[in-house]
């Protein structure tokens, strides 16, 4: 059985996309700690426009299930829940941040088992 090459990353998009273009059979695994750290840093910024209560709800009800997705189908279902929530719909900065930094590379986001 052929082993697939793996690349660990805390998700630097230029590194990920360059690597994927050069190594076509590469699988990218994200560091859960750094991904959650980045999400938390965004949520607590005043500029994000997200209240403390909404940040807790986002993390508990939407982001943690998204991060814990074990399959692409589960990821897609959790992503749809996030996209339908009122906090998401009412915050353009949240939408921009997640679309640009995380959801644009959805196939790279499924947690490794």
pLDDT at 104: 64
Report H helices in the chain. Answer: 13-22, 32-44, 52-57, 64-67, 72-84, 86-89, 92-101
Quick check: 30 pLDDT over 90?
no
Q: Looking at the domain assignment, is residue 100 inside a domain?
A: yes
pTM of the model: 0.68
Q: How many CB atoms lie within 10 A of CB 96?
A: 10
| Torsion sign (Cα): 40, 45, 47, 52 | positive
Report the alpha-carbon distance of residue 89 to residue 16 in Å, rounded: 28
Q: How many domains does the chain have?
A: 1
Quick check: 23 pLDDT over 80?
no
pLDDT at 112: 47
Q: Looking at the domain assignment, is residue 1 inside a domain?
A: no
Domain span including residue 46: 6-108
pLDDT tens sequence across 81-94: 999 999 999 999 99
């Amino acid at each position: 059985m052929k082993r697939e090459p793996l690349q660990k990353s805390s998700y630097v998009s230029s590194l990920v996309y360059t690597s994927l273009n050069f190594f076509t059979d590469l699988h990218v695994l994200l560091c859960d700690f750094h991904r959650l750290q980045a999400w938390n840093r965004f949520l607590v910024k005043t500029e994000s426009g997200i209240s403390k209560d909404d940040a807790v709800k986002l993390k508990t009800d939407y982001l943690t299930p998204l991060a814990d997705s074990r399959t692409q189908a589960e990821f897609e279902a959790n992503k749809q829940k996030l996209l339908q929530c009122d906090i998401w719909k009412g915050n353009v900065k949240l939408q921009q941040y997640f679309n640009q930094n995380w959801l644009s590379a959805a196939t790279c986001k499924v947690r490794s088992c």
